[in-house]
Amino acid sequence: MKKTLTAGVAALVLSALSAQAQDLQFPVGEGAFNWDSYEAFKADNDLAGEQVTVFGPWLGPDQQAIEAVLAYFGAATGADVRYTGSDSFEQQIVVDAEAGSAPNVAVFPQPGLAADLARRGFLTPLGEDAASWMAENYAAGQSWVDLGTYAGKDGEGAFYAFPYKADVKSLVWYVPENFEDAGYEVPETMEDLKALTEQIVADGETPWCIGLGSGGATGWPATDWVEDMMLRTQTPEVYDQWVTNEIPFDDPAVIGAIEEFGWFARNEDFVAGGAGAVASTDFRDSPKGLFAVPPQCYMHRQASFIPAFFPEGTEVGLDADFFYFPAYEGKDLGNPLLGAGTLFAITNDSPGAKALIEFLQTPIAHEVWMAIPGQGFLTPLTSANPETYSDDTKRALGEILTSATTFRFDGSDLMPGGVGAGSFWTGMVDYAGGKPAEEVAAEIQASWDALK
C-alpha cells in the first residue's frame, strides 16, 4: 500500500509539470478534425495569465491523453492548464473540498461521489444552457443530463457534472469465422438472440461462455447482465427507481430481469461447462472458449475492455468481433445501452473553469482523444467526426453509443457499496448456483434495508 500511495503522490507532481510542456499532438488545420470549432472557441476566450487546475483519476496513457486534450484548451485561451492525477482520487477530492483547496475542475469516475459533493455544497452548477446543449447534442441526450443532475445543498436539482468519455457494456463478443462456418447471422433483436441460442444447441453446440469469478469481487459480471435485462424489459424510469431503491429489489420487475439472466446462465445446455461452472469460472478466462478448436462456445457478453483477456495476437475486427446486446423488438423500448463514464465538475469556480466546460462542448475536445491510438475513448457527441477514431473497432463502438436511445450508468456502481459491491454480487452467485430469484432478491433487499 505504501508503494502505491508513493507512486500516486509522484504522479500528482509530475503530471502537473508535464501538462505545461505538452505540445499539440495534431497540427491545427490538418486532418479530419473540426478545426472550425477550435477557432470559434479560441476567438471567444482569452484567459491569458489565468491558471486552471484539473484533478482526476487518470494516470499513465490516460493521463497523457487528457493532457493532449487540455493542451488545445491552453493553446486556444492562453491559460496555464495543469492536470494532476491520482490513484486515490476518490479520497483526495473529498479531503481537498473539505479543506477549501479543491482544484478548479474535478473529473469523477462515478456519479455517486459527485452527487454527494453537490449535496454538501462543494460543486458549482453548470447552468441550464449546458444542460440544454447536452440534451440536444449527445445521443440519448437527456440520459446524460440526468446522469449529471443532482440535488444541491438547498435540496434543489441542478446540472452539476458534464459527462465526458464513455464506456460501453452492452456487447456480445464472437468469432466471425465460427459464425460463418456454422451459417449463423448476427441477431438484431433479443428474440433473434434467444432463437440463435436455441439453434446452436439444436446443432449440438454450446452457445455461451459465462464466468462470474473475480476474486473478492466474484459475481459482478452477473450484475451487468441483470442491469442490461432491466433496461430491456422495463422503462428507464423503472431502472432509475430500482437503482435508488424507490422500488424494492424484490419487486416483480427486478425478479423478472434476474430470471432473464437465468434463461441464459442456468440452462445446462446453454453454457460451456454447464450451469454449475458459471460461478466458478473466472471472468477473465471465460471468453477463451470462443477461440478453442473446435469452439467451446459461440458468444460471450462483456464490456468493451474484454479483448485484454483474449489470446495474445487476437485482432479485433478480424479474429474476434462484437455486436450490440439487442433489445426486445416486442417491448418497444428503443435501443438502451448500459455503460459507464467520467464526469467533469467545477469544484473551485473561476472564469477558466467555466471556459473548460464550454471547451468540452466543442467537437475538437472529443476528436483529439478519439484520434489517439490505443485509447478507449468513446463519445456520445453526435457532431464529433467518427472518422477521427483511430481504428475501426473504436468507430464501431462509437456508432453503438451514438445509436442508443437511452443510456444508463452501471446500476451496481450507483447503489450503496454494501449492496452494489456486496449483496448484489453474492446474491448473483447464489442465483447462478440454483437459489430461486425471489429468495435472492429478498435477501439483497434485506441488506439494503439494514443500511437505512
Q: What is the pLDDT along the chain (452 residues), one digit of tens a residue?
A: 323 333 343 344 334 333 333 489 999 999 999 999 999 999 999 999 999 999 999 999 999 999 999 999 999 999 999 999 999 999 999 999 999 999 999 999 989 999 999 999 999 999 999 999 999 999 999 999 999 999 999 999 999 999 999 999 999 999 999 999 999 999 999 999 999 999 999 999 999 999 999 999 999 999 999 999 999 999 999 999 999 999 999 999 999 999 999 999 999 999 999 999 999 999 999 999 999 999 999 999 999 999 999 999 999 999 999 999 999 999 999 999 999 999 999 999 999 999 999 999 999 999 999 999 988 899 999 999 999 999 999 999 999 999 999 999 999 999 999 999 999 999 999 999 999 999 999 999 999 999 98
**Is 270 found in the same domain as 205?**
yes
Strands of 78-237 (E only): list them. 80-85, 105-108, 149-151, 157-159, 161-168, 171-174
**Is 374 found in the same domain as 437?**
no
Cα separations in angstroms, 337 against 112, 208, 230 = 19, 21, 11
Q: What angle, rounded to 10 degrees, do the helices at 220-233 and 424-432 form?
A: 90
Instruction: Kindly give the residue spans of alpha helices, DSSP state H, lying in 161-235.
Output: 176-182, 190-202, 220-233
φ/ψ of 419, rounded to 5, equals -100, -65
**Is 89 found in the same domain as 53?**
yes
Task: Look at residue 446 in the predicted model and tell me its pLDDT.
Answer: 98
Residue 235: give the domain boundaries: 171-336+411-451
Give counts: helices (H), strands (E), the chain.
19, 11
- CA separation for the pair 66, 74 (Å, rounded): 12
Chain centroid to Cα 330, Å, comes to 27
Lookup: cell for 370: 478519439
**Is 32 found in the same domain as 88?**
yes
DSSP assignment, residue 24?
P
Whichever domain contains 126, its CATH number is: 3.40.190.10
**Is 140 found in the same domain as 175?**
no
Q: What angle, rounded to 10 degrees, do the helices at 351-359 and 60-77 form?
A: 110
Q: Pick from 90, 145, 150, 94: which is nearest to 118 by CA?
A: 150
**Is 190 found in the same domain as 205?**
yes
Element (H, E) at 339: strand 336-346
**Is 139 found in the same domain as 17?**
yes
Q: SS3 for 341?
A: strand
What is the total count of domains within the chain?
2
**Is 378 found in the same domain as 258?**
no
The model carries a pTM of 0.92
Lookup: cell for 29: 488545420
**Is 396 found in the same domain as 278?**
no
Cα separations in angstroms, 384 against 37, 360, 392 = 10, 11, 15
Task: Look at residue 374 in the predicted model and tell me its pLDDT.
Answer: 87
Task: Look at residue 80 in the predicted model and tell me its pLDDT.
Answer: 98
Q: SS3 for 407?
A: strand
- CA separation for the pair 9, 84 (Å, rounded): 10
**Is 421 found in the same domain as 367?**
no
**Is 441 found in the same domain as 373?**
no
Cis peptide preceding 294, ω within 30 of 0? yes
Which of 377, 394, 409 is at the close of a domain? 409
Site of grid cell 476566450:
45
Lookup: cell for 449: 434495508
**Is 415 found in the same domain as 321?**
yes
Cα separations in angstroms, 158 against 130, 154, 162, 354, 390 = 11, 10, 12, 16, 35
